[in-house]
Amino acid sequence: MPLVVPNDGEDLALKALLNNTAGQDQTLKLFSNNITPSETDVAATYTEVTGGGYASKSLTGANWTFTPGAPSSAQYNATQTFTFTGAIGGSGTVFGYFVVQTGTGKLLWAEAKSSFTPAVNGDNIAMTPAITAD
């Protein structure tokens, strides 16, 4: 399932590239609504997971590794593991993740993943955030 950088994310990337606005750290969140990310999405499009011990993850700019080339890419230096204490609210299923700017809350990108339904204490899902530009 492809990663999508929506219009808000494209706008923020261009503004940072051209030194119009300063970059910000990011927050990695899981979503529980069964949708396919699209260009017109905003952060409110996604229903963030609640309950079951879930907590979003802070991502800091200094912890990304950048690889220039064709394509260029960035990968977070540490795998982010979400460990649950039991079932989550809403649909009860994780369908993917989305990344927002920590300060503004604006959506940077989102990706649907294979669904995951935490049920018992210790269930977890791990991911290493990455993005490629070509």
Task: Compute CA 127 distance to the chain's CA centroid, rounded to the nearest angstrom.
Answer: 10
CB 120 within 8 A of CB 53: no
pLDDT of residue 1: 62
Q: Is the dihedral of CA 89, 91, 94, 97 positive or negative?
A: negative
Place 17 in a pLDDT band, splitting at 50, 70 and 90: confident
- Helix or strand holding residue 12 (H, E): helix 7-17
pLDDT of residue 90: 85
Position 112 pLDDT exceeds 90 = yes
Q: What are 37-96's pLDDT values in tens digits?
A: 999 999 999 999 999 999 999 999 999 999 999 999 999 999 999 999 999 988 899 999
Tell me whether residue 134 is exposed, middle or buried, using C-beta atoms within 10 angstroms of its C-beta: 0 to 12, 13 to 18, 19 or more.
exposed
